[in-house]
Amino acid sequence: MAQGTGSINSDYRDWEWSADAGERARLLQSPSVETVPKSGESPGDSLGATSALGAVFIVVNAALGAGLLNFPAAFNTAGGVAAGIALQMCMLVFIIGGLVVLAYCSQASNERTYQEVVWAVCGKVPGVLCEVAIAVYTFGTCIAFLIIIGDQEDKIIAALVTEPEGAGSRHWYTDRKFTISITAFLLILPLSIPKEIGFQ
């Protein structure tokens, strides 16, 4: 029986610091994750890339969304402006920590979207749960924005339609259900059909 003469890490160069984080990146990857850029992409290809300022606005918009309109009530419930800001600063630590972990996992797994990162790092079941959660979240966000649109349309219609004093019945075209439905079908649905929304 022959015995190998070589040993692991016997060369002094094996112990040097390396700028290549490829080995550490592969620890997070499942065997199906690609270690090279996706087909048709070059490492320096900036097609579809978002600038740092654009990324900041996307994250802020996603984090606040329609909830921004509820900030006064939230601050009042928290105990005032000072208590609300203190609570936000505490939550900011967790938010930044989560974004740093997400950025590291995205870089290590060579994926671009949140869903792809979860699929690559966590596996199939968490990936499906993530996609379901995103669908439910965006559906709820759509409802919140439709309610906001309906509130504004009520005020616009009230300003445009003058009803005589003591008239108890409203016209069918001023009904909130009708105006929100028409807005959703005529304006929002056509804008939701394209796969790419960059033109908006």
What pLDDT does residue 24 have?
45
d(CA 118, CA 114): 6
Sign of CA dihedral 55, 59, 65, 70: negative
Q: What CA–CA distances, in Å, run from 46 to 49, 50, 54, 183, 184?
A: 5, 8, 14, 37, 35
Angle between helices 124-160 and 114-122 (to 10 degrees): 160
> Distance between terminal CA atoms of the chain?
71
Condensed to tens digits (0 to 9), the pLDDT of residues 59-85 reads: 777 767 777 777 888 888 888 889 989
The residue-averaged pLDDT of 29-46 equals: 49
User: What pLDDT band is residue 16 in, cutting at 50, 70 and 90?
Assistant: low
Report pLDDT for 157: 85
The pLDDT value recorded for residue 145 is 86
Q: Cβ–Cβ contacts within 10 Å for residue 195, how many?
A: 4
d(CA 122, CA 19): 26
Is residue 111 packed enough to be buried (19+ CB in 10 Å), middle (13-18) or exposed (0-12)?
Answer: buried
Cβ pair 95, 107 in contact under 8 A: no
